[in-house]
A and B are shown apart, each in its own frame.
Chain A
Amino acid sequence: MELGRLTYMANQIARNLAPQGEAAVELTCQHLRDFWDPRMKAAIIGGDRAGLDPIARAAVERLASPVG
């Protein structure tokens, strides 16, 4: 899956969940867990995270860690 598109999607999710404050990272991570197909998760976890905004990046890091 094209990483640029996935990065855009993750950032958009994070940006809209940002108003939830402290919960935003966990909610973003949960959103990816709940709605993304495994190949999309694998691509964003395995890809270059430079383009990710801070909340999205933290969420992807959490998604990547075993036992979430």
Chain B
Amino acid sequence: MGYDRQADFGTPEVRSDTTVTLSIDGRSVTVPAGTSVMRAAATCGGSIPSLCATDSVKAFGSCRMCLVEIEGARGLPASCTTPVAEGMVVHTQTERLARVRKGVMELYISDHPLDCLTCSANNDCELQDTAAEVGLRDVRYGYGGDNHLGAPTDGSNPYFDFDPSKCIVCSRCVRACDEVQGTLALTIDGRGFASVVSAGQAGDDFLSSECVSCGACVAACPTATLQEKAVKEIGKPERAVITTCAYCGVGCTFRAEMRGEQLVRMVPWKDGKANRGHSCVKGRFAWGYANHQDRITRPMIRESIDQPWREVSWEEALGHTAARLNAIKARHGARALGGITSSRCTNEEVWLVQKLVRSGFGSNNVDTCARVCHSPTGYGLSKTYGTSAGTQDFDSVMDADVVLVIGANPTDGHPVFASRLKRRLRQGAKLIVIDPRRIDLVRSPHIEAAHHLALQPGTNVAVLTAFAHVIVTEGLADEAFIRERCDWDEYQDWARFVADERHSPERLESVTRVPAHDLREAARLYATGGPGWASAQRNKPNAAIYYGLGVTEHSQGSSTVMAIANLAMATGNIGRRGVGVNPLRGQNNVQGSCDMGSFPHELPGYRHISNAGVRANFEADWGAALDPEPGLRINNMLDAAIDGSFRAIYIQGEDILQSDPNTHHVAAGLKAMELVIVHDLFLNETANYAHVFLPGSTFLEKTGTFTNAERRVQMVRKVMEPANGYEDWQVTQELAKAMGLGWDYTDSGQIMDEIARLTPTFAGLSHARLDAEGSLQWPVNAAHPDGSPIMHVDGFVRGKGKFIVTDYVPTDEKTGPRFPLLLTTGRILSQYNVGAQTRRTANTVWHAEDLLEIHPLDAENRGINEGDWVRLASRTGETTLRATVTDRVAPGVVYTTFHHPATQANVVTTEFSDWATNCPEYKVTAVQVLPSNGPSDWQESYASWSEKSRRIAVEPAE
């Protein structure tokens, strides 16, 4: 069949309870009221020529190609801007229309190069298609007049070119930037013949402008004007495979457009329910790491970490590793062995790693990187609501009237969701931001937060308790909801606690540094929709909470999650569209890795390991006895290693040395182990301490599923053969077989069948079902056969919602004379996590190094200027990086990202952690910042050690 663009219906889908029936070229068609004639024609197999219309943006009516004749109507209305009407009779192809369209087309083509054969959009160009549709054969005006054919190309963006000589000024790109992305970086400059698409201010190019390189304009462009450089280099794709992005927890689905086994481009899939046809710079463009020269594709081993690596066959690597594992188990017992599953790998792969640890190693020492990000979400939401998951789908935000964003920076961390959120905010929803830093969302084009509570880092619980105090004492709680859905006695205990005067915003102001008046107003807004709430819309406003790692990565992370859950219950904001508690998950499969039993205390589906009945199911299916005692968490494994009771670890797709707190401690733990097995794409920082390296496969090289932040399970599909020869689940299986386990999966779908067999919330899932449905949100089972977009609709999963009293306990990480500033950490749009992937792409043009944000006052006191090297020191360690002076952070607070190993921000973070889950307190470290001349001793010695430990011995072939 070859390559086809995804169908374009010309104007966006309209939802309506009423339908309208009309006739188009003699065909009867019924569509929702409000649909355009153009879309109606497309839904019944027609194609009205058009240039300025595309279904990702609102109709514009500028190109004059889509004119139609409507019986009884005057003139030739544009079908994109004309809504359907009952009984309407439309003709889309008449002689009169053909004449007019051809005339318009002639004008377009008179100022367009005729280089179709050598154009990179040849055969994938809407202008070309439209010229063919209208039968253009000649341009009467000739080509000699004034034109734009000599306009130079702007190639500043690393991933796409802007060639204005091919532009038809349809303004689809400008509208996509406004409506789809919400950045408003583009505009049409000039008038009439002088009209040109312009990025940013005069003098800006695409790179220097506000453009965030999301690719929405490129997807919307009907010509070669905005086009991927890769298409220019490689040519038109020959096939497209739907797959799921491997970056953040939004879980965008893409068409991987291929030539043979070569990826040409990733185009967001319009039918994807998480992204609805949108994308960000990472998923759309930053996939070049998949074939980066640093990628290791052959297994390697070494006896000790000061030796160079030795490349070996798979057989030797697996045999050697299995023998070492078995020997350590025989000598030190099963509990000396453990593993770490990856939130970047598929559900099927995570399942096998935890199965290998539990049934092969024989311990429950399995953990995942969710430990260091969203483990408090798991604890907090399961205690209060009964299950460890966000309550809504992403679409739900379009029904929210008030949005509370706390400890999250969606425009950088979850950009595609942020675009949807911004669209809702531009429609009038109110925004409250609780964050120590002025994130972009606080004020961006056509968006301004009603309240930005710039709290002191570490005081989340105090702020939320004060919120609750206002709601309870001012009589704003939804008692009808609480009586019906929650335990009333527990509510009363909680209400009495929060109503105490010591929890008032005024009393807590000295701790939180949030002005009491602002906090009161914000709490009222969340509970009531604010003064003058338009009751005509609905009885009660919908208020939704979105939160991220600024909530969880604290010593009271779990308490904060519970405080959030309490607030949503107290105001009745649970169980319908537009409301809820929504954790924004960091990595693509954080939700899935948690669901798949990656925690040392629980089996898949969040069932405690001490539950004999559940354990018996697994024992029967796996044919192995399971340890009934909980295992070690990552940080406990490191402690136990130093202690000598933990000896071997299998780490799949994680870089704990870079991502976990207190790098020195992580290094000491890894160094103390006899056997460290790293299974990854690259020799990451952790691999510097490894004895076995098993090469991994990218998301383009495997089949399986990811589960995004809205519990949506989606297929990942193999589009090319793994460079290392195996998909990651196959590597785990081969290791299991080498250890003597009789596994024989021939397809990852069989693993999903096992997941469904043993996990009640996944009972209705299979790859075949996902192929048919596109995606499903768990629980998918007999009670919810088509999945669950919204949870807790008729009752909480645990029965009655549980209010849990949370009291503010200050962190033990204190500022003092030696360390007077508080460091908090975060992410930036163009980089992802530890940067292993994005640093190996052209995304580095946007963020080549981690910078320290410092307030002008603090900078001046220390004699620090923009761009200066500074020494960042905590009680744990020190590093150096360059400073940027900005009032985005409050005085007393500094901020940085952790995307680059050279910075090693985690050298300074401490081992303080969440009381319930040991999720590290990344967001609060007491530091001092002083001018510096360059890299610290640690950075220099680490760089040389790192280089040394990455050596690969050159050996003869035999």
A interface residues with partner B (beta carbon < 8 Å):
1-2, 5, 9, 12-13, 15-16, 18-20, 31, 33-40
Contact of A37 with B629 in the complex, beta carbons under 8 Å: yes
By Cβ-Cβ distance, the 8 closest A-B pairs, closest first, are A19-B807, A12-B915, A16-B915, A19-B805, A37-B632, A38-B629, A13-B915, A35-B601
Q: What distance in Å separates the Cβ of A44 from its nearest Cβ neighbour in chain B?
A: 12
Q: Is B848 an interface residue (CB 8 A)?
A: no
Contact of B365 with A34 in the complex, beta carbons under 8 Å: no
Q: Which residues of A contact B608 (CB under 8 A)?
A: 34
A-B contacts, 22 of them at CB < 8 A, read: A1-B636, A1-B639, A2-B642, A12-B555, A13-B916, A16-B559, A16-B806, A16-B807, A16-B916, A19-B497, A19-B805, A20-B805, A34-B601, A34-B608, A34-B610, A35-B601, A37-B364, A37-B365, A37-B631, A37-B632, A38-B629, A39-B645
Cα A63 to Cα B559 in complex, Å, equals: 24
Per-position 1/0 for B304-319, Cβ under 8 A of A: 0000000000000000
Contact of B805 with A37 in the complex, beta carbons under 8 Å: no
Q: Which residues of A contact B600 (CB under 8 A)?
A: 37
- Report which residue of B630, B804, B805, B807 has the largest number of chain A beta carbons within 10 angstroms of its beta carbon: B630
Contact of A35 with B630 in the complex, beta carbons under 8 Å: yes
Per-position 1/0 for B406-426, Cβ under 8 A of A: 000000000000000000000
Chain B residue with the shortest CB-CB distance to A35: B601
- Report which residue of B640, B805, B915 has the largest number of chain A beta carbons within 10 angstroms of its beta carbon: B915
Q: Which residues of B contact A13 (CB under 8 A)?
A: 915-916
Cα A40 to Cα B807 in complex, Å, equals: 27
Per-position 1/0 for B553-583, Cβ under 8 A of A: 0011011000000000000000000000000
Contact of A2 with B335 in the complex, beta carbons under 8 Å: no
Contact of A31 with B640 in the complex, beta carbons under 8 Å: no
Contact of A40 with B636 in the complex, beta carbons under 8 Å: yes
Chain B residue with the shortest CB-CB distance to A5: B639
Cα A12 to Cα B807 in complex, Å, equals: 13
Q: What distance in Å separates the Cβ of A49 from its nearest Cβ neighbour in chain B?
A: 19
Known: A12-B915, A16-B556, A37-B600. 6 other contacts (CB 8 A): A5-B639, A16-B916, A37-B365, A37-B630, A38-B335, A40-B636
Cα A39 to Cα B642 in complex, Å, equals: 14
Q: What distance in Å separates the Cβ of B920 from its nearest Cβ neighbour in chain A?
A: 13
Chain A residue with the shortest CB-CB distance to B627: A38
Cα A5 to Cα B669 in complex, Å, equals: 15
Chain B residue with the shortest CB-CB distance to A2: B639
Cα A16 to Cα B376 in complex, Å, equals: 14
Per-position 1/0 for B896-927, Cβ under 8 A of A: 00000000000000000001101000000000
Cα A33 to Cα B809 in complex, Å, equals: 23
Cα A19 to Cα B805 in complex, Å, equals: 6
Per-position 1/0 for B623-635, Cβ under 8 A of A: 0000001111100
Q: What distance in Å separates the Cβ of A45 from its nearest Cβ neighbour in chain B?
A: 14
Cα A44 to Cα B270 in complex, Å, equals: 55
Q: What distance in Å separates the Cβ of B467 from its nearest Cβ neighbour in chain A?
A: 17
Cα A13 to Cα B642 in complex, Å, equals: 24
Q: Is B937 an interface residue (CB 8 A)?
A: no
Q: Which residues of A contact B555 (CB under 8 A)?
A: 12
Assuming the contacts A16-B556, A16-B809, A19-B807, asked whether A36 and B643 have C-beta atoms less than 8 A apart, the reply is: no
Question: Of the candidates B335, B630, B636, B639, which one forms a contact with A34 in the assembled complex, judged by CB atoms under 8 Å apart?
Answer: B630
Q: What distance in Å separates the Cβ of B641 from its nearest Cβ neighbour in chain A?
A: 11
Cα A38 to Cα B628 in complex, Å, equals: 10
Q: What distance in Å separates the Cβ of A25 from its nearest Cβ neighbour in chain B?
A: 16
Cα A35 to Cα B371 in complex, Å, equals: 13
Q: Which residues of A contact B556 (CB under 8 A)?
A: 16
Q: Which residues of A contact B805 (CB under 8 A)?
A: 19-20
Q: What distance in Å separates the Cβ of B325 from its nearest Cβ neighbour in chain A?
A: 19
Cα A59 to Cα B593 in complex, Å, equals: 32
Per-position 1/0 for B603-647, Cβ under 8 A of A: 000001010000000000000000001111100100110110100
Chain B residue with the shortest CB-CB distance to A10: B915
Cα A20 to Cα B803 in complex, Å, equals: 11
Cα A24 to Cα B364 in complex, Å, equals: 27
Cα A34 to Cα B805 in complex, Å, equals: 20
Contact of B916 with A37 in the complex, beta carbons under 8 Å: no
Per-position 1/0 for B360-380, Cβ under 8 A of A: 000011000000000000000
Assuming the contacts A12-B915, A16-B915, A19-B805, asked whether A37 and B559 have C-beta atoms less than 8 A apart, the reply is: no
Q: What distance in Å separates the Cβ of A68 from its nearest Cβ neighbour in chain B?
A: 12
Q: What distance in Å separates the Cβ of B430 from its nearest Cβ neighbour in chain A?
A: 32
Contact of B809 with A15 in the complex, beta carbons under 8 Å: yes
Q: What distance in Å separates the Cβ of A22 from its nearest Cβ neighbour in chain B?
A: 12
Q: Which residues of B contact A12 (CB under 8 A)?
A: 555, 915
Cα A36 to Cα B335 in complex, Å, equals: 13
Cα A20 to Cα B335 in complex, Å, equals: 34
Assuming the contacts A16-B559, A34-B630, asked whether A1 and B916 have C-beta atoms less than 8 A apart, the reply is: no
Q: Which residues of A contact B809 (CB under 8 A)?
A: 15-16
Q: What distance in Å separates the Cβ of A8 from its nearest Cβ neighbour in chain B?
A: 8
Contact of B636 with A37 in the complex, beta carbons under 8 Å: yes
Cα A20 to Cα B636 in complex, Å, equals: 27
Q: Which residues of B contact A15 (CB under 8 A)?
A: 809, 915
Question: Of the candidates A2, A16, A19, A31, which one forms a contact with B643 in the assembled complex, judged by CB atoms under 8 Å apart?
Answer: A2
Q: Which residues of A contact B610 (CB under 8 A)?
A: 33-34
Interface residues of B in 708-763 (CB under 8 A from A): none
Cα A12 to Cα B914 in complex, Å, equals: 9
Interface residues of B in 799-840 (CB under 8 A from A): 804-807, 809
- Report which residue of B558, B631, B916 has the largest number of chain A beta carbons within 10 angstroms of its beta carbon: B916
Question: Of the candidates B335, B497, B640, B804, which one forms a contact with A1 in the assembled complex, judged by CB atoms under 8 Å apart?
Answer: B640
Contact of A39 with B915 in the complex, beta carbons under 8 Å: no
Cα A56 to Cα B640 in complex, Å, equals: 22
Q: What distance in Å separates the Cβ of B329 from its nearest Cβ neighbour in chain A?
A: 16
Q: Which residues of B contact A31 (CB under 8 A)?
A: 916
Q: Which residues of B contact A40 (CB under 8 A)?
A: 632, 636
Q: Which residues of A contact B633 (CB under 8 A)?
A: 35
Q: Which residues of A contact B630 (CB under 8 A)?
A: 34-37
Q: Which residues of B contact A39 (CB under 8 A)?
A: 335, 640, 645
Interface residues of B in 768-827 (CB under 8 A from A): 804-807, 809
Per-position 1/0 for B524-565, Cβ under 8 A of A: 000000000000000000000000000000011011000000
Cα A18 to Cα B915 in complex, Å, equals: 12
Cα A44 to Cα B844 in complex, Å, equals: 48
Chain B residue with the shortest CB-CB distance to A31: B916
Chain B residue with the shortest CB-CB distance to A11: B915
Chain B residue with the shortest CB-CB distance to A43: B643
- Report which residue of A16, A31, A38 has the largest number of chain B beta carbons within 10 angstroms of its beta carbon: A16
Q: Which residues of B contact A20 (CB under 8 A)?
A: 804-805
Cα A15 to Cα B364 in complex, Å, equals: 27
Cα A17 to Cα B809 in complex, Å, equals: 11
Q: Which residues of B contact A2 (CB under 8 A)?
A: 639, 642-643
Cα A17 to Cα B639 in complex, Å, equals: 25
Cα A24 to Cα B263 in complex, Å, equals: 57
Q: What distance in Å separates the Cβ of B833 from its nearest Cβ neighbour in chain A?
A: 26
Cα A9 to Cα B555 in complex, Å, equals: 11
Cα A13 to Cα B379 in complex, Å, equals: 13
Contact of B335 with A37 in the complex, beta carbons under 8 Å: yes
Cα A39 to Cα B332 in complex, Å, equals: 13
Q: What distance in Å separates the Cβ of B612 from its nearest Cβ neighbour in chain A?
A: 15
Cα A38 to Cα B610 in complex, Å, equals: 13
Cα A9 to Cα B643 in complex, Å, equals: 17
Q: What distance in Å separates the Cβ of B382 from its nearest Cβ neighbour in chain A?
A: 12
Interface residues of B in 69-100 (CB under 8 A from A): none
Chain A residue with the shortest CB-CB distance to B461: A16
Q: What distance in Å separates the Cβ of B9 from its nearest Cβ neighbour in chain A?
A: 52
Cα A29 to Cα B411 in complex, Å, equals: 42
Cα A40 to Cα B364 in complex, Å, equals: 14
Q: What distance in Å separates the Cβ of A40 from its nearest Cβ neighbour in chain B?
A: 7
Q: Which residues of B contact A34 (CB under 8 A)?
A: 601, 608, 610, 630
Cα A9 to Cα B497 in complex, Å, equals: 25
Q: Which residues of A contact B629 (CB under 8 A)?
A: 37-38
Cα A12 to Cα B556 in complex, Å, equals: 10
